Chains A and B, each alone.
Chain A
Amino acid sequence: MSTVAVAEQEVDGQQWPQENYLNAKSGVWSWVTTTDHKRIGVMFFFGTALSLLVGGIYALLLRIELLTPGRTIMDPNTYNRFFTMHGIVMVWLFMIPSIPTVFGNFLLPIMIGARDVAFPRLNLASFYIYVVGAAFTLWALIDGGVDTGWTFYTPYSLSAPSAVIPVAFGIVILGFSSIATGINFIVTTHTLRAKGMTWMKMPLFVWAIYGTSVIQVLATPVLGMTLIVVALDRSFRLGLFDPTLGGDPILFQHLFWFYSHPAVYIMVLPGMGVISELVSSVARKNPFSYKAIAYSTFGIAFVGFLTWGHHMFVSGMSLLDSGVFGLTSMLVAIFSAIKVFTWTATLYRGAIAVSTPLVYIFAFLFLFVFGGMTGVAVAGMSMDIHWHDTYFVVAHFHFIMVGGTLTAYLAAIHHWFPKITGRKYSETWGFISSAMVFAGFFFTFFPQFLLGNAGMPRRYYAYAPEFQMLHVASTAGSSILAAGMVLSLVYLTYAVFKGPLAGDNPWHLRGLEWKTSSPPPEHNFHEHRIEVSGEYEPYDYWRPENPP
């Protein structure tokens, strides 16, 4: 190490580790060919964060357009393309991969005491498959975009005059990335746990990523096949989903939602995993019930496969089917409630430290519970017929799915920032920006519940003048949200270069990731092989001999 690095060691009495994954090898080539799961996680961070930016810019343009009942800044066709691309980019390029590929990649092997994931080269391949899929999708975006909505409903998607095929292919390719990552995480969890790291000693985040991976592996191929058939139908007029040739568009909806409903659990389960870790961290208490959180993950993963029909109450399903799908959908709320009660019970009488992650935990709990309650409401068929295809549903899924994933993603960034970068961010600015994100999110989507309930249909370009007030309120909220996000970007970027050194365990936690240096060395630990003693528990804050 150079003299500069030696000087750095003295900052705040913290040591900058001599060897870490960032300086183990240097040069761009060492990054693009790396098989280190930590570096791949960092590369995925840039991919997903860029997607969040692109999807966010679309969202802001849509909100600006909706400021007035008629034309504001774009024509109706552009508007259709923009809301479609907003959905596609946010769902497949940001929310599905975000937490698993960034934090799952970085943390899962360290948390179970492994040197890497089971298949490091497959892991790198998964990143490049993601890049190729994203390139297809974004190419279509330049090439005129798609105007079918992110759901590609047939028969319109078979004749829509826009770039359906490249986008569909992009999503199929992204699916392979998702499957490869899922296989890698499942196998890693099964076979690479350190000696002594039993299943019931794994951190709850690992359970969440494991459950998510199972859904990814089992649901994604169905979407892939369905979109391939759409592309074949469109290119060669096969007619499998085309009613003019005898095909059945409702079958498309069944197959599409067979993936796309479990997909919301691909998005939110990792978020739940993050929150499970963080409530114990901020409250300095053990999870109220480790097993309840771990097992309810599988309740959600399993029941999630049996609820897809609730998207189709007005598509012509039988009353019996609708009733059954309504009931199974409400079952998800039971498993989710088990988690929410466990988290709040964990916080109860804890030694809560006020920090940026705490604000995001509260934001998550508020948005998730509010979104979840409205979810139970729309799972009831009689009420869903009123709310179907209105802004009520838009507000519902943004609260629960986006609110859940985005706040957990931001919470995870802040919580593990010291581990990943080795530095601390500014808690003051973190607090301000997290408050802005929370408030902005609420004021963007709360008016949309009111809009939908009053009858404003979703995806409409023009609307009745009496809806304008609420639309303006929503747009105002979205600008606060955007400002909060930009602020996070600014102070986090500053902290990466200029933040004070964090030290190995700035939060005083128990997980294995805090027992190695920040940033961790190339193979995660300084020992060649980690062993976990019989007494080890990922959360053992109650033991008097282990004060925080």
Chain B
Amino acid sequence: VKPEVHAHFQDWENERHSGHLAMWIFLASEVLFFTALITLYAGYRTHFPGEFGEAAKHSKLAIGSINTYVLITSSLFVALQLDAFKKGLPRRALLLQGLTILFALCFMGLKALEYTEHFHEGIYPGHWYHFDKVPNRGGMLFFTLYYVMTGLHALHVLVGIGLFLFLMHRTMKGRYSPESHLGPTLIGLYWHFVDIVWIFLWPMFYLIR
């Protein structure tokens, strides 16, 4: 399949370059989106160092760590999916896209389980927080930020699932070839970004105690 070049681009290389550049700039913008929240986290961690450490001991380290494994593995599938397209094996790519979605759903399931357990302990965000083991403002802020940041991350995972469903649909229609697989490449970049955000959230909310 020869790639279809839009008329305002000079050639396919030009169009491909534009797509890549746009995605990288978009991701830079996304980084700043999360940075605003990371700044809040840094600010409050400085205000309440003891309480933050105390609160972090009550986060679900096991679930968080398994989720890290799940998400990184899904990124591996995404990388292999691209490799499959390059080798002209769209059916293998389709399978790997399916596995990515499966692992993303697994991540979301574990996240839901984690939230539910926290709710049972009285760990709600903000004003509704009534966790008796860390009954102070620092603990409240830690878990509020936990909900806001992991929530925003989960939203990105959901968007990713949607994008991979779209990719599977296009792959089944045979729209990608070894020469032309810009969509999978760009959505792959997005997925790796979502992964990297989690790599930051994992130590912030689970490891630094």
Q: How far, in whole Å, are A486 and B86 apart by their CA atoms in the complex?
A: 61
Nearest chain-B residue to A220 (Cβ)? Answer: B29
Given A229-B148, A240-B144, A255-B36, residue A116 in contact with residue B127 (CB < 8 A): no
Asked whether any CB of chain B lies closer than 8 Å to the CB of A402, the reply is no
List 25 A-B residue pairs with CB atoms under 8 Å apart, sorted by A's residue number.
Answer: A114-B8, A119-B18, A183-B26, A183-B29, A187-B21, A187-B22, A191-B9, A192-B14, A192-B18, A217-B25, A219-B32, A220-B29, A221-B30, A225-B33, A229-B40, A236-B127, A238-B127, A240-B126, A240-B144, A240-B148, A245-B127, A246-B140, A254-B39, A255-B36, A523-B7
Chain A residues within an 8 Å CB radius of B39:
251, 254-255
Please, what's the 1-or-0 string for B14-44, where 1 marks a CB less than 8 Å from any CB in chain A? 1001100110011011101111110110011
Would B18 and A247 count as touching, CB distance under 8 A?
no
| A-facing residues in B120-161 (Cβ within 8 Å) | 125-128, 137-138, 140-141, 144-145, 148
Asked whether any CB of chain A lies closer than 8 Å to the CB of B47, the reply is yes
Given A222-B35, A251-B43, residue A119 in contact with residue B29 (CB < 8 A): no
Chain A residues within an 8 Å CB radius of B148:
229, 232, 238, 240
Chain A residues within an 8 Å CB radius of B40:
229, 240, 251, 255
Distance between B20 CB and nearest chain A CB, rounded to angstroms: 9
Would A221 and B18 count as touching, CB distance under 8 A?
no
Would B21 and A237 count as touching, CB distance under 8 A?
no
| B-facing residues in A393-446 (Cβ within 8 Å) | none
Given A119-B22, A221-B30, residue A240 in contact with residue B145 (CB < 8 A): yes
Q: How far, in whole Å, are A115 and B9 apart by their CA atoms in the complex?
A: 8
Distance between B93 CB and nearest chain A CB, rounded to angstroms: 25
Would B128 and A240 count as touching, CB distance under 8 A?
no
Would B127 and A218 count as touching, CB distance under 8 A?
no
Chain A residues within an 8 Å CB radius of B30:
221
Nearest chain-B residue to A224 (Cβ)? Answer: B33
Would A238 and B126 count as touching, CB distance under 8 A?
yes
Task: Tell me if A's interface is mostly helix, strand, loop or mixed.
Answer: helix
The bracket for how many chain A residues form the interface is 35 or more
Given A192-B9, A220-B29, A225-B33, residue A236 in contact with residue B125 (CB < 8 A): yes
Contact of B140 among A182, A186, A239, A529 (CB under 8 A): A239
Would A237 and B128 count as touching, CB distance under 8 A?
yes
Chain A residues within an 8 Å CB radius of B126:
233, 236-240, 245
Nearest chain-A residue to B124 (Cβ)? Answer: A236
Q: How far, in whole Å, are A247 and B28 apart by their CA atoms in the complex?
A: 28
Nearest chain-B residue to A238 (Cβ)? Answer: B126
Would B125 and A191 count as touching, CB distance under 8 A?
no
Q: How far, in whole Å, are A529 and B8 apart by their CA atoms in the complex?
A: 9
| B-facing residues in A95-139 (Cβ within 8 Å) | 114-120
Given A192-B9, A236-B125, A248-B43, residue A225 in contact with residue B144 (CB < 8 A): no
Q: How far, in whole Å, are A523 and B40 apart by their CA atoms in the complex?
A: 47
Nearest chain-A residue to B47 (Cβ)? Answer: A248
Chain B residues within an 8 Å CB radius of A183:
22, 25-26, 29
Query: Measuring CB to CB, which residues of chain B are less than 8 angstroms from any residue of chain A?
Result: 7-10, 14, 17-18, 21-22, 25-26, 28-30, 32-37, 39-40, 43-44, 47, 125-128, 137-138, 140-141, 144-145, 148
Contact of B28 among A116, A187, A192, A217 (CB under 8 A): A217
Contact of B29 among A192, A217, A246 (CB under 8 A): A217
Distance between B193 CB and nearest chain A CB, rounded to angstroms: 13
Chain B residues within an 8 Å CB radius of A238:
125-127, 144, 148
Instruction: Tally inter-chain residue pairs, CB-CB below 8 A.
Output: 114
Would A239 and B22 count as touching, CB distance under 8 A?
no
Asked whether any CB of chain B lies closer than 8 Å to the CB of A48, the reply is no
Distance between A336 CB and nearest chain B CB, rounded to angstroms: 25
Nearest chain-A residue to B138 (Cβ)? Answer: A246
Chain A residues within an 8 Å CB radius of B43:
248, 251
Chain B residues within an 8 Å CB radius of A220:
29
Asked whether any CB of chain B lies closer than 8 Å to the CB of A226, the reply is yes
Ranked nearest first, the 9 interchain pairs of A and B with the lowest CB-CB distance are A246-B137, A237-B127, A238-B126, A225-B36, A221-B33, A115-B8, A116-B8, A221-B32, A191-B18
Chain A residues within an 8 Å CB radius of B140:
239, 245-246
Q: How far, in whole Å, are A217 and B17 apart by their CA atoms in the complex?
A: 19
Distance between B125 CB and nearest chain A CB, rounded to angstroms: 5
Distance between B198 CB and nearest chain A CB, rounded to angstroms: 18
Q: How far, in whole Å, are A118 and B25 apart by their CA atoms in the complex?
A: 14
Contact of B32 among A191, A222, A254 (CB under 8 A): A222
Would A187 and B25 count as touching, CB distance under 8 A?
yes
Chain A residues within an 8 Å CB radius of B137:
245-246
**Most chain-B Cβ atoms within 10 A of its Cβ — which of A119, A221, A246, A523?**
A246
Q: How far, in whole Å, are A220 and B137 apart by their CA atoms in the complex?
A: 30
| B-facing residues in A498-539 (Cβ within 8 Å) | 523, 529
Nearest chain-A residue to B23 (Cβ)? Answer: A183
Q: How far, in whole Å, are A224 and B33 apart by their CA atoms in the complex?
A: 8
Distance between B16 CB and nearest chain A CB, rounded to angstroms: 10
Chain B residues within an 8 Å CB radius of A217:
25, 28-29
Would B29 and A218 count as touching, CB distance under 8 A?
yes
Distance between A112 CB and nearest chain B CB, rounded to angstroms: 12
Distance between A74 CB and nearest chain B CB, rounded to angstroms: 36
Asked whether any CB of chain B lies closer than 8 Å to the CB of A190, the reply is yes
Nearest chain-B residue to A109 (Cβ)? Answer: B8
Would A218 and B33 count as touching, CB distance under 8 A?
no
Please, what's the 1-or-0 string for A158-180, where 1 marks a CB less than 8 Å from any CB in chain B? 00000000000000000000010
Nearest chain-A residue to B17 (Cβ)? Answer: A191
Chain A residues within an 8 Å CB radius of B7:
115, 523
